[in-house]
Amino acid sequence: MTTETDAAEIAVDELTPDQAAAELARLGREIARHDTLYHGEDRPEISDAAFDALRRRLEAIEARFPALVRADSPSRRVGAAPATGFAKVRHAVPMLSLANAFAPEEVAEFLARVRRFLALEADQPLTIVAEPKIDGLSLSLRYQDGALVQAATRGDGVEGEDVTANVRTIDEVPQTLAPDGAVPAVVEVRGEVYMTRDDFLALNARRRTADEATFANPRNAAAGSLRQLDATITAGRPLRFFAYSWGETSEPLGATLWQVRDRLAAWGFRLNAPARRCGSLDEMLALYREIEGARAGTAHDLDGVVYKVDRLDYRDRLGAVSRAPRWAIAHKFPAAQATTRLAEIKIQVGRTGALTPVALLDPVTVGGVVVTRATLHNEDEIARKDVRAGDTVVVQRAGEVIPQIVRVVVENRPADDAARPRFAFPDRCPECDSLAVRDDGEVVRRCTGGLICPAQAVERLRHFVSRDAFDIDGLGEKIIETFWTEKLVRTPGDLFRLPETDATTTPRLQDRHGWGPKSAQNLFDAIAARRQIPLDRFIYALGIRQVGQATARLLARSYASLEAWRTAMIAAADRDGEAWHELTAIDQIGPSVADDLVGFFAEAHNLAVLDDLAAQLTVTPVAAPAAEAASPLAGKTIVFTGTLATMSRGEAKARAEALGAKVTGSVSAKTDYVVVGADAGSKATKARDLGVATLTEEAWRALAGFDA
């Protein structure tokens, strides 16, 4: 059987389906945590270069094996959940991230994909707007009748933080839009908050003088400044703003991106420059080289060039995948590298029992950022690179995250160093001394201690209250550890019983940890505020393997209620039963994810946790966006079969999902519509046999509003 480590060492075009599935599992776990640290907490722990390389490989495998794309794949996510301390804002139009390119060939493939999706002939013009990629914090500004009424961060792309008071202190954000003859009643202007290098250096100098912690780089400084709960602090920080996009509008802003840029400038916004309309790949790459050559002399940090389709009707048709628009791509600049000494390799234990090696580095500056740590992923990665404590290593970063180890500088090892032992990966858990095993097909070694392992128990509780899950304000890592040590909390349900034990809880915390009644009450209030939670957050909070935010949302939308989901997952234990087939028919949920779901519900202690929580909480359905709620396709299950004449299959599927439909690959009695194109096969026959409604392409276009 092929392990994930074996798969990691095989070129994408040589992977078998089994190897590809193992590799996607590994890559998904590697990427997910770092995505949250970067977007949600502004404290990344791997390099942008490492992060981008992992994502590139994952997307290449998914492109070659589309049937293996996992519902919790990082390619289906954007950012991380919004931070605590601010009111939440649900974006009327999601704020998406961008796919990345690192070579001219990948930019050429982007253009080819756009042409394929739109069914454009080679001689049909396709204009692209190219502009610098600013290294800052994404922001959405909502104007009503020309006046700024709300400002929100990206957050997880669906929900962000309300930072209106702070944004009003930024001089480059207009409080009212300069009239250009037609200011829409509602318009959301989107762009990037950033800090120039000179302003960043001056801010750090002031903080050193005041004996305050300094920021690692301009982006972190901008993010930290914007997220101040006290707006007067933000007002004292030198923040700036570039506009480059838009969200909800009450009327069209133009026919092309270039026209919209002109309107943004007329309204008083600064635009990132130089920008250029390009009619060919050569013109796009020429501007990339121009900006790359001049980046050292720019006032602010740049990390690449963004290419966007100019025609807005094309962009509407292209739409987006779950985390990124199809009509844009970021062409990233090459990674920076440096050399340092690897001082020590330590093992950390995660909530699923995974033993993860971490490299502790002698501090080194890479691309302007001082870094001291990097993940070593797993024991096979250590063996493959022959990494040992005391080695000189080459590290790299592109952006502002902690670097990956590229290679060991073997030539720097002393001639008499041959006897120095290689790193011996432990076969017992460093936290509880339980056996640590590595299952067939797994690259990760896991502690078998389960709930008796304090690291796993504490990590699971941390996950339960994390920002993407219950998001309980004030219940951070140290407090969770305190509650565990004091034996106040052992299961998630114990958290909601804390106020009931206030008579004993507060005095113990006050005596041993300096807590007062007010601190305890603030926490109890925050816990009480989370007694009602959407189903997708609840599912994610349970910490089921392979069930990330995207998968949790998909499950919540598919089963609607906690009781229906629980009943279906228990029934799915019968691999020949209807519940199993319904689960695996959900688009992007395959047998591997289904096995982990069924395995979770097969454990009696997990069912006890669910019963305990259900008795204390109100778990609500996931609210559909307004466009979906009003759609005749909302909640419908659709299957496409045959060749469509007026659009690509990808465009049809994207439109169905945007209107709230579920697209599956198999026909069942619960399928609502089968769209039948030319040369349809067995799916059309099965639909007729089951009495499922079939639609011609013309009828599908009318139902989906293409011809409205």
pLDDT score at 2: 46
User: At residue 153, does pLDDT exceed 90?
Assistant: yes
Which of 303, 332, 361 lies at the terminal end of a domain, its last residue? 332
In a domain, 315, yes or no: yes
Tokens 């390099």 correspond to 47
Quote the distance between the C-alpha of residue 594 and its chain's center: 22
Give the dihedral sign, CA 540/541/543/544. Answer: negative
Q: Are 570 and 583 contained in the same domain?
A: yes
pLDDT score at 396: 83
Q: Are 600 and 678 contained in the same domain?
A: no
For residue range 312-340, what is the model confidence (pLDDT) as tens digits?
Answer: 999 999 988 767 899 999 999 887 788 99
Which of 581, 603, 623 lies at the terminal end of a domain, its last residue? 623
Identity of the amino acid at 591: P
Out of 330-339, 371-380, 635-644, 651-660, pick the least confident. Answer: 651-660
| CATH code (residue 671) | 3.40.50.10190
8 A C-beta contact, residue 191 and residue 245: yes
Q: 570 by DSSP, 3-state: which?
A: helix
Which residues share a beta bridge with 404?
396
| CATH code (residue 303) | 3.30.470.30
User: At residue 83, does pLDDT exceed 60?
Assistant: no
Name the residue with higher pLDDT: 417 or 702.
Answer: 702
Cβ neighbours of residue 238 closer than 8 Å, sequence gap 6 or more:
195, 196, 199, 202, 203
Q: What does the pLDDT average to over 104-114?
A: 95
Cα(first)–Cα(last) distance of the chain, in Å? 53
List the domain range (segments joined by +) for residue 207.
88-332
Name the residue with higher pLDDT: 698 or 648.
Answer: 698
CA-to-CA separations, 171 to 193, 265, 407, in angstroms, rounded: 11, 15, 46
Name the residue with higher pLDDT: 68 or 642.
Answer: 642
For residue range 508-543, what is the model confidence (pLDDT) as tens digits?
Answer: 666 666 666 777 778 888 888 889 999 999 999 998
Report the side by side order of strands in the sheet with 147-153.
147-153, 137-144, 186-194, 240-249
Out of 34-43, 347-356, 527-536, pick the least confident. Answer: 34-43
**Pairing of β 392-397 and β 404-408:** antiparallel
Name the residue with higher pLDDT: 7 or 59.
Answer: 59
| CATH code (residue 579) | 1.10.150.20
In a domain, 617, yes or no: yes
For residue range 585-622, what is the model confidence (pLDDT) as tens digits?
Answer: 887 788 889 998 998 898 888 888 899 999 999 999 87
205: tokens are: 């100098």
676: tokens are: 């039948």
Name the residue with higher pLDDT: 352 or 176.
Answer: 176
In a domain, 137, yes or no: yes
In a domain, 418, yes or no: no
Q: Please spell the DSSP secondary structure of 633-653, one letter per residue.
A: TTT-EEEEESB-SSS-HHHHH
User: At residue 124, does pLDDT exceed 50?
Assistant: yes
In a domain, 366, yes or no: no
pLDDT score at 79: 46
For residue range 192-237, what is the model confidence (pLDDT) as tens digits?
Answer: 999 998 999 899 899 888 888 888 788 888 988 898 888 888 888 9
Identity of the amino acid at 280: S
Q: Are 218 and 313 contained in the same domain?
A: yes
Which residues share a beta bridge with 191?
139, 243
pLDDT score at 508: 66
Q: Are 582 and 663 contained in the same domain?
A: no
Rounded CA-CA distance 698/261 in Å is: 36
- Residue burial 265-275, b: 16+ Cβ < 10 Å; e: rest: eebbbbebeeb
Count CB neighbours of 672 within 10 A: 15
Element (H, E) at 701: helix 697-704
Q: Residues in the chain, how many? A: 708
Cβ neighbours of residue 7 closer than 8 Å, sequence gap 6 or more:
15, 19, 20, 22, 23, 26
Reported confidence tier of residue 91, pLDDT bands at 50, 70, 90: very high
In a domain, 394, yes or no: no
Is residue 133 annotated as part of the catalytic site, yes or no?
yes
291: tokens are: 């900006």
Cβ neighbours of residue 84 closer than 8 Å, sequence gap 6 or more:
467, 471, 473, 474
Q: Are 601 and 652 contained in the same domain?
A: no
Q: How many domains does the chain have?
A: 3
8 A C-beta contact, residue 429 and residue 455: yes
Q: Are 135 and 281 contained in the same domain?
A: yes
Q: Are 157 and 209 contained in the same domain?
A: yes
Q: Please spell the DSSP secondary structure of 67-110, one letter per residue.
A: GG--TT-GGG--S-PPPTTS-EEE-SS------EE-SHHHHHHH
Q: Are 643 and 608 contained in the same domain?
A: no
In a domain, 64, yes or no: no
In a domain, 564, yes or no: yes
Give the dihedral sign, CA 128/131/133/138. Answer: negative
Rounded CA-CA distance 708/696 in Å is: 17
Give me the phi and psi of 104, to 5 degrees please.
-55, -35
Quote the distance between the C-alpha of residue 451 and its chain's center: 28
Name the residue with higher pLDDT: 393 or 521.
Answer: 393
Q: Give the start-end residues of each E strand in 335-479.
A: 336-349, 355-366, 369-375, 392-397, 404-408, 436-437, 446-447
Which of 304, 332, 360 lies at the terminal end of a domain, its last residue? 332
Dihedral angle over CA of 80, 82, 83, 89, nearest 10: 170
Catalytic residue among 88, 133, 518, 686: 133
Q: What does the pLDDT average to over 59-86?
A: 65
For residue range 396-448, what is the model confidence (pLDDT) as tens digits?
Answer: 875 445 578 888 998 888 777 766 788 999 999 998 888 888 888 788 898 87
For residue range 545-561, what is the model confidence (pLDDT) as tens digits?
Answer: 888 888 898 899 888 89
Q: Are 177 and 303 contained in the same domain?
A: yes
Element (H, E) at 417: none
User: At residue 168, does pLDDT exceed 90?
Assistant: yes
66: tokens are: 């589309």
Q: Are 213 and 281 contained in the same domain?
A: yes
Identity of the amino acid at 694: T
Which residues share a beta bridge with 258?
none
Q: Are 618 and 631 contained in the same domain?
A: no
Closest CA to 64 of 107, 21, 5, 28: 21
Q: 372 by DSSP, 3-state: which?
A: strand
Q: Are 284 and 300 contained in the same domain?
A: yes
29: tokens are: 């776990």
Over 465-508, what HEC string results?
CCCCCCCCCCCCHHHHHHHHHCCCCCCHHHHHHHHHHHHHHHHH
